[in-house]
Amino acid sequence: MQRDVTPFAGRTPAEELVRVFTDDRERLRRVVMVRLDAGLRGRVDVDDVLQEAFLAASTRLKHFRPERCAVMFVWVRMVVMQTIVDLARRHLGARKRGGGREVALTEVVDDQGSSFRLLQEMCARVTSPTRAAARAEDSTRLIASIAGMSDTDREILLLRHFEELSNGEVAEVLGLQKAAATNRYLRAMTRLHDVLGNPDGPRHG
């Protein structure tokens, strides 16, 4: 109930929310690009997703607990992810008209699989017609290696390099201590290096 001590340099949560959506807009866009289903990417605009996420975040702001989540960006990111899942569900429901690749509902909604799906899409995208005229280079082996990583390693890698989150933010997203996040990140990178260095190709599992 102590509202006088605000953790956002004197800003209210509402002001902080606006700041995140302004200053961190690029990073939030990246979250959408990484996590949005390939079939939806042609239909919904990234900025529309963010706008919807902003509305959702504003209405849910009362549920935001500064003591639980020190960095508001991490909370907003979660809302964005939720918006994406909702969108996928809504669009898939109305997808009987066809036009997209067949993606099972579970595939979209299942959060666990999201990072893995992203990798699959990397391959699928290369053959998508809008890109036919342009060349997409394919470091297939690297993709396969990432696909073969453990879920945690892969998620850390995606957060750090695809969503471009900082170590502190990764720690918050995954609920880890900063040191543990550092440790895990470096371990994941070393492992990936080992797999790539192995001439027999990636080891799965």
Partner 1 sequence: MFSATPTGPAMAEPGQDDAAEDRIEHLADEFAARLRNGARVTVDEVVAAHPDLPSRLREVLQTVLAVESLKVRHLAMHPEPRLPSDRRLGDFRIVREVGRGGMAIVYEAVQESLARVVALKVLPQTAFLDDEQVVRFQNEARIVSRLWHPHIVPVHTVGVDAGVHFFAMPLIAGVGLDRVVRAMQESRCRDGAPLDPTVAAVLAHLDRGEPAQPSFWLRLAKIGADFADAIEHAHCHGVIHRDVKPSNLLLEADGKAWVSDFGIAKCLDQERATRTGQMLGTLHYVPPEQFDGIYDARGDVYGLGLSLLELGGGATTWPGGSIPALVEHIRRGVPHTLRQICRGAPRDLSLVLQKATACNPSERYVSAAEFAADLRRFAAGRPILARSASVAARLLFWCRRNRLAAVCAAASVLAIGAASLAGWGAFWVTDRALGAQHAANARARTSLDAARRATHRAEANLELALESYDEVFRQITGGVGFAATKDDASTLPLVSNREHELLQAVLSFYESFASTNADHPRLRRAAAGAFARAGDIRRWNGDPDGARAAYVRAVEFHERVESWARDDAWVLAMASMRAGQALVSDDAFAALADLESVRLLLERRVSADAASELAAELVRLCNTIGVVSLRSSPLASGQVHPYLDWCQRTAVLAHERAVAVAQCLVAADPSALDSVLLLARSLRLLAHARLCGPSPAAASLDNVADSLDLLEAMSRAWPGTLRCRVEWIDACSLAARHGVHGFGCGRLTQSLAEARDLVVLRPGLPEFEELLARVLRRSGEVAASSGQAAAALASFDECGGVLAALWQRFPRAEHHLQELLQVRFAQANVLRDNGDPAQAMLLLEQVLDLAEATRSPTVALGARAIDRELLSLCVELGDDEAAERVRHRAIDRNRGRFGSFRPR
Given candidates 139, 150, 151, 152, which one binds partner 1 under the rule CB under 8 A? 139
Taking CB under 8 A as the binding criterion, the range among 4-12, 29-37, 62-70, 87-95 that sits at the site for partner 1 is 29-37
Tell whether residue 94 is a contact of partner 1 (CB under 8 A). Answer: no
Smallest distance from the beta carbon of 83 to partner 1, in angstroms? Answer: 19
The number of C-alpha atoms within 13 Å of 172 and in the hemisphere containing its C-beta is 17
Tell whether residue 164 is a contact of partner 1 (CB under 8 A). Answer: yes
Write the CB contacts of 103 (distance below 8 Å, at least 6 apart in sequence).
37, 38, 39, 92
**Cα(31)–Cα(53) distance, rounded to whole angstroms?**
12
Given candidates 112, 135, 175, 177, which one binds partner 1 under the rule CB under 8 A? 135
User: Residue 8 — φ and ψ, nearest 5°?
Assistant: -110, 50
**Cα(149)–Cα(159) distance, rounded to whole angstroms?**
14
Q: What is the CA radius of gyration of the chain?
A: 19
List contacts with partner 1 (CB under 8 A).
30, 33-34, 97-99, 101-102, 116, 119-120, 122-123, 125-127, 129-144, 146-148, 157, 160-162, 164, 166-167, 179, 182-183, 185-186, 189-190, 192-194, 196-197, 199, 201, 204
